[in-house]
């Protein structure tokens, strides 16, 4: 069975992380990859936003590559503000022969 790389995209507070964690609970050894969490692990990331953003993305891609190469799923709950991240993840999925999905979560304001 092919591993899956899934991006959950959508506005703040819609439940991306909650759904990603639920998916991880139901699929063993899935990497729930929150790039914002990785960024916050870098010291002084707020003062070095121009450096910490691209660096956290590179770290995330390396983590995803490792998990996909081992045959396990990766799910990324992330607001996609640029095309670069989606393209990088799609290329990674191709490189690792993983299925690739982008899911946009939407709801009404209520």
Domain ranges of the chain: 4-104
Of 18, 9, 34, 4, the residue nearest 103 (C-alpha): 9
- Domain 4-104 belongs in CATH node 3.40.50.300: yes
Q: If you ran DSSP here, which 8-state letter would residue 90 be given?
A: H
pTM: 0.92
Q: What is the pLDDT of residues 19-78, one digit of tens each?
A: 999 999 999 999 999 999 999 999 999 999 999 999 999 999 999 999 999 999 999 999
Q: If you ran DSSP here, which 8-state letter would residue 47 be given?
A: T
């Amino acid at each position: 069975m092919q591993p899956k790389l899934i991006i959950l995209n959508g506005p703040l507070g819609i439940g991306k992380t909650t759904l990603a964690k639920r998916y991880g609970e139901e699929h063993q050894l899935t990497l729930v990859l929150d790039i914002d969490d990785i960024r916050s692990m870098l010291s002084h990331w707020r003062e070095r936003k121009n450096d910490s953003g691209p660096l956290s993305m590179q770290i995330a891609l390396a983590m995803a590559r490792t998990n996909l190469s081992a045959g396990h799923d990766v799910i990324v709950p992330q607001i996609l503000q640029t095309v670069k991240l989606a393209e990088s993840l799609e290329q990674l999925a191709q490189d690792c022969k993983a299925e690739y999905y982008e899911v946009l979560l939407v709801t009404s304001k209520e």
